[in-house]
Amino acid sequence: MSSGTQVRFTLRPDRAEGFSRGFLTAVYEFDGNRTVRVPMPWVNTDKGVDEFSCTLDTTGYVGLIWYSFQLERLDGRNQELGTYQMTVYDGTDEVPDWFGKGMCYQIFPDRFCRTQVPDPAGMVGGRSVHQRWEEHPAFRPAGRTPDGHDIMNRDFFGGNLKGVESRLDYLASLGVETIYFCPIFEAAENHRYGTADYSIVDPMLGTNEDFVHLCEEAHKRDIRIILDGVFNHTGYVSRYFNGDGFYETPGALQSKDSPYYGWFDWKHWPDSYESWWGIYSLPAVKEDSQEYRNFIFGGKQAVVRRWLKAGADGWRLDVADELPDDFIHGLHQAVRETDPNAIVIGEVWEDGSTKIAYGKRRKHLLGGHLDGLMNYPFRTALIDFLLQGNGAGFRESMETLRENYPRSAFYSAMNSLGTHDTLRILTYLGTGSERWERSKEWRSRYQMEPFELERGRRLLRLGFLVLFSFPGAPTVYYGDEAGMTGYEDPFNRCTFPWGKEDREMIKFCATLGNYRKKSLALRQGCLQWGSCREGVLSYTRSWEAVSVAAAVNSSLNPQEVRLPWEGGEAVDVFTRRRYRPEKGTLRFYLAPQSGVLLEMAATELKN
């Protein structure tokens, strides 16, 4: 609800209940839990029900309102209803709408494509490089630091920006409209989430000029670029902390006179400091440091501004719920000042409207902070449907988000089935489990049985169908469309299998991606639910006079589907089979573990 809206509430109980009046109680959480009690007088009787109404004013308020109702009978007995959530956001903040419309593709840069085997000599971090692209990533420690910490993630494959550029036509053929890069800045570890230098592209990936050229070539293909901003912590091995002394200029660990000393939270200098989740290699920064803020977003040459000017179209903020609200607000302002059409997406694993971090309710979606979020609730609900058949549960989870999120945030959500932080979706759907009861050694070696692989492929096709037809940006983790498998990090970060791809799955994904690219109904249409029950999930997306419907049966039995449908015949995008509606409803049966994507017949569109 946009701030300033006069919200009208109406209760319609059966007249036989004998209610005489009602009250609305509203708690304005972001205004010190200010509570108002609004009378709901009787206003009408209609077809055996009474109507009690009132209006709630949201003028001048931004935040959550928790409201409930009380109905009173003539005999003095009461009925309580609620509590419910209302998200009141700043409607003056204009959110660019391009991100949620088309397909996004997430790339883990070291593992996507390389143009040559790099020489790691002289690079930060004491790296090793796999000579063969098909090798498996290392998961055991590569050694120990002098103070006894395991050295991890120093094995590289040498994927680079020129490699990505060489595959832009492949990405365009999938229908990709946005590339989201995991971190590309210089860093000691292959995941690069411990930034060593925010000012340069990691030399194994290429140069700053390579990035500029990549953006130019991507933009020629109408593909935008989103960068990963890791601003909650830096690397132990970095220009700023300089834990191993790699950099010539003193970092915070070497000297209190270092310009970076005040960036970090020292328990006892130099041997004890705050770090992200207690991981020594990721020292946490003090986001309230003005010097740090100026470096990241405040100054004219600040990090977020500089890379937008170089060609990036937005930022994804790592662990956004661990960044202070005013830090995100300042960064968001800097992004908009630099490029009014750039976006800021945040990593939050829960419902972002109610997220509490460090004991404080966050302002992520209230305007001027995050434009959208990684939609892990979508992933959780969809996997639950695919594996357990809970169609009603998926609808309930998504309706909760739709009710709680501003429309722009719901439609700008980064929807995905897998990311660099989750096991490969094909493995999950095929085996049905993350297999935490097994050892990491076992998970590193496991090869899916043929029946598991086929089961996973069937369910993944259904998952892709929902992913590409639902509101929000359908986001594919590199290689999921090519049939990549693997359990958790680092087994979910293997190299892209060029030349050994699952061509059938790629074709299926490309059909969906390119259909999404041309369908206004899928890009921005409203959502109306159809059958959602055990084993069945269906809904319709509509924009103006055009509708597209998706229906999926994840069960092992045929299932009846009913869908609202205004118009003539519907045609399956894949098989071209026709379906005829009756009285505004499509009714048909789906075979086990199958789905359809239905569009209006061409003759209908011409009329």
Helix (H) or strand (E) segment spanning residue 215: helix 208-220
Asked if the model's pLDDT at residue 161 lies above 60, the reply is yes
Closest CA to 237 of 184, 271, 186: 186
Q: Would residue 318 show up in a list of annotated catalytic residues for this protein?
A: yes
Both tokens of residue 557?
A: 């039995």
Which residue is catalytic, options 165, 189, 287, 347? Answer: 347
The residue behind tokens 């300042």 is 330
* Whether the predicted pLDDT of 605 surpasses 50: no
553 lies in some domain: yes
> Could you tell me if 584 and 466 lie in one domain?
no
pLDDT band at residue 191 using 50, 70 and 90 as cut-offs: very high
In-domain check, residue 273: yes
Q: Quick one: average pLDDT of 442-461?
A: 97
Question: For residue range 498-511, what is the model confidence (pLDDT) as tens digits?
Answer: 999 999 999 999 99
Strand partners, 484: none
Q: In angstroms, what is the C-alpha Rg of the chain? A: 26
Domain final residue, candidates 518, 540, 571: 518
In the listed set 477, 500, 518, which residue is the last one of a domain according to the structure? 518
Model confidence over 365-380: pLDDT tens digits? 999 999 999 999 999 9
Interval 208-229: pLDDT, tens: 999 999 999 999 999 999 999 9
Report the SS3 class of residue 105: strand
* pLDDT computed for residue 147 by the predictor: 80
Task: Clarify whether 347 is annotated catalytic.
Answer: yes
Same domain assignment for residues 298 and 351: yes
Residue 433 inside a domain? The answer is yes
Q: What CA dihedral angle connects 300, 304, 310 and 313, to 10 degrees?
A: -130
- Give me the residues paired with residue 233 across strands: 284
Domain boundary among 493, 518, 543: 518
Domain at 63, CATH number: 2.60.40.10
What is the rounded CA–CA span in Å between residue 366 and residue 351?
13
539, with CB counted inside 10 A (0-12, 13-18, 19+), is: buried
C-alpha–C-alpha distance, residues 392 and 206, integer Å: 48
Close Cβ partners of 549 (under 8 Å, ≥ 6 residues apart):
530, 538, 539, 540, 541, 563, 565, 570, 586, 596, 597, 598
271 and 255 in a single domain? The answer is yes
> Mean pLDDT across the stretch 14-26?
95
Residues above pLDDT 70, as percent of the chain: 99
Which pLDDT does position 606 carry in this prediction? 45
In the chain, what percentage of residues exceed pLDDT 90? 96
The per-residue pLDDT for range 380-426, each reduced to its tens digit, is: 999 999 999 999 999 999 999 999 999 999 999 999 999 999 999 99
Does residue 275 share a domain with residue 338?
A: no
Confidence of residue 75 (pLDDT cuts 50, 70, 90): confident
Average pLDDT score over residue span 178-205? 98
Residues 281 and 292 in one domain: no
Which single residue is written with the structure tokens 């979706």? 425
Question: Is residue 227, in this structure, part of any structural domain at all?
Answer: no
- Asked if residue 567 has pLDDT above 90, the reply is no
Residue 476, amino acid: V
Same domain, 420 and 484: yes
129 pLDDT higher than 60: yes
Cross-strand pairs, 6: 57
Q: Give per-residue burial for 327-339: e unless 16+ CB within 10 Å, then b.
A: bbbbbbebbbebb
Relative to beta strand 546-553, strand 559-564 is unpaired
Do residues 410 and 361 share a domain?
A: no
Give the total residue count for the chain: 607
0.95 exceeded by the pTM? Answer: yes
pLDDT for 77 equals: 86
- For residues 427 and 447, membership in a common domain is answered with yes
Tell me the torsion sign for CA atoms 264, 269, 270, 276. Answer: negative
- Asked if pLDDT for residue 540 goes beyond 50, the answer is yes
387: CATH: 3.20.20.80
| pLDDT recorded at residue 145 | 85
Which pLDDT value is given to residue 154?
Answer: 97
**Tokens of residue 196, six digits:** 């060593």
Q: Is 60 exceeded by the pLDDT of residue 572?
A: yes
Is there a domain that residue 376 lies in? yes
Q: Classify residue 50: in a domain, yes or no.
A: yes
pLDDT category, 602, cuts 50, 70, 90? confident
Are 540 and 476 within one domain? no
What confidence tier does 230 reach under pLDDT thresholds 50, 70, 90? very high
Which is it for the CA torsion 355, 361, 365, 371, positive or negative? negative
Distance (Å, rounded) from C-alpha 518 to C-alpha 81?
Answer: 44
Give me the DSSP letters along 553-587.
Answer: E-SSS-EEEEEE--SS-EEETTT--EE--BTTEEE
Whether residue 468 lies inside any domain: the answer is: yes
Helix 376-388 × helix 391-404 angle, to 10°: 170
Smallest Cα–Cα separation from 240: which of 182, 177, 296?
Answer: 296
- What's the mean pLDDT in 168-192? 98
Q: Contact at 8 Å (CB) between 242 and 236? A: no
Band of the pLDDT at 189, cuts 50, 70, 90? Answer: very high
> How much is the pLDDT for 198?
98
Judge if 456 and 416 occupy the same domain. yes
Contacts of 77 (CB under 8 A, 6+ apart): none
Separation between Cα atoms, residue 465 and residue 552, nearest integer Å:
8
Domain tally, the chain: 5
How many Å apart are CA 293 and CA 503, to the nearest integer? Answer: 46
Specify the pLDDT at position 76: 80
432/340 same-domain check: no
342 shares a domain with 240: no
Which member of 202, 318, 322, 599 is catalytic? 318
Max CA separation in the chain (angstroms)? 85
The DSSP call for residue 494 is: P
The per-residue pLDDT for range 270-329, each reduced to its tens digit, is 999 999 999 999 999 999 999 999 999 999 999 999 999 999 999 999 999 999 999 999
The answer to whether position 536 is within a domain reads yes
Domain extent at residue 63: 6-88
| pLDDT score of 607 more than 70 | no
